[in-house]
Amino acid sequence: MSSETSAIGHGLDPERMPGHIAMIMDGNGRWARKRMLNRVKGHEKGADVVREMVRTCRRLGISVLTLFAFSTENWGRPKAEVGALMFLLRKFLMSEEAELIRNNIRFNTIGQTEHLPEDIRQTIDLVKDRTRSNDGMTLNLALSYGAREEIVRMARQIALESKAGLLSPDAVTEETVEGRLYTRGMRDPDLLIRTSGEMRISNFLLWQIAYAELFFTQTLWPDFTEAELIQILKDFQRRERRFGRVN
Ligand code: IPE
Ligand code: IPE
Ligand code: MG
């Protein structure tokens, strides 16, 4: 079934699908707590939802899916929880590689991957390499990602190029900035979804979401479903995006 048929099948207009969806996957800990379980159980269930969302977005013909999996601030969590998240990431990369290849999905990461454990970095490079020429969808995993770190990194790079005489300050444009972010070459998110009821951005894609449509749902990430995503997409299609202009 083509992605167009799939969208129509769900009552969506294939012409008005968001090209790039970003998700802040929040609420794993609360999901576990409600069940008197360890927070890690919430992350495990959350990883299953990640798999389902990747599949659904691919089927609906989304070009880029960016998932906030681990923030620069999340390093401050207890060591055992960080360790469990790294374990799940390792497991996800190994188990999903074949599925990504089968579904023509290109794997990419944004963030300070240099801070991740060595074996995970190697697996990431391998999966990126093996999916490099896939063009069905890009799955962008935000790992040790923080928007402020990304912006500082970009500024530092511009300063270095300028000092080396490669870039004149007058020549700095929005494109210069975009080209030095982790998301270079990707379209900006059209739609940002955050689960768990928190109404904040938590240092995610600050530059890129300038004109994204924002959706906040009370649903905790482990309970998030394809059906709810489709409802959000229907709502998205009813919104009028004006980009500061009049229609
Ligand atoms: C999101 O769930 C997953 C990560 C941040 C890694 P949380 O772990 O933040 O869950 P809550 O917010 O404590 O419920
Ligand atoms: C944002 O969730 C980061 C991820 C989903 C990976 P957090 O749970 O870390 O955000 P805060 O602390 O509630 O703002
Ligand atoms: Mg949280």
For the whole model, what pTM was predicted? Answer: 0.98
Instruction: Report pLDDT for 44.
Output: 98
Which of 23, 25, 30, 31 is the best mutation target for the ligand 1 pocket, counting ligand atoms within 8 Å of the beta carbon and taking the most? 30
- Identify the CA nearest to 180 among candidates 105, 110, 113, 108: 110
Q: How far is the CA of 117 from the centre of ligand 3 (A)?
A: 22
Is the sign of the CA dihedral 162, 166, 169, 175 positive or negative?
Answer: negative
Q: How far is the CA of 236 from the centre of ligand 3 (A)?
A: 24
The answer to whether 142 and 67 have CB atoms below 8 angstroms apart is yes
Q: How far is the CA of 194 from the centre of ligand 2 (A)?
A: 10
| CATH superfamily ID and name for 18-235 | Decaprenyl diphosphate synthase-like (3.40.1180.10)
Indicate if 134 belongs to the active site.
Answer: no
Which of 66, 92, 144, 202 is the best mutation target for the ligand 2 pocket, counting ligand atoms within 8 Å of the beta carbon and taking the most? 202
Tens-level pLDDT at each residue, the chain (247 residues): 789 999 999 999 999 999 999 999 999 999 999 999 999 999 999 999 999 999 999 999 999 999 999 999 999 999 999 999 999 999 999 999 999 999 999 999 999 999 999 999 999 999 999 999 999 999 999 999 999 999 999 999 999 999 999 999 999 999 999 999 999 999 999 999 999 999 999 999 999 999 999 999 999 999 999 999 999 999 999 999 999 999 8
Decide: helix, strand or coil at residue 137. Answer: strand
Indicate if 74 belongs to the active site.
Answer: yes
AA identity, residue 98 = A
User: In whole angstroms, what is the distance from residue 223 CA to residue 229 CA?
Assistant: 11
Instruction: Tell which atom from ligand 2 comes closest to the C-alpha of 24.
Output: 5
Question: What is the length of the chain?
Answer: 247
User: In whole angstroms, what is the distance from residue 93 CA to residue 139 CA?
Assistant: 12
Q: How far is the CA of 33 from the centre of ligand 2 (A)?
A: 16
Domain ranges, ordered by start, for the chain: 18-235
Instruction: Tell which atom from ligand 2 comes closest to the C-alpha of 68.
Output: 6
Is the sign of the CA dihedral 145, 27, 29, 107 positive or negative?
Answer: negative
**Ligand minimally distant from the alpha carbon of residue 205:** 2
Could you write out the DSSP letters of every residue in 165-204? Answer: TSS-GGG--HHHHHTTSTTTTSPPPSEEEE-TT----TTS
Q: 198 in ligand 2 pocket by Cβ < 6 Å?
A: yes
Q: 205 in ligand 2 pocket by Cβ < 6 Å?
A: no
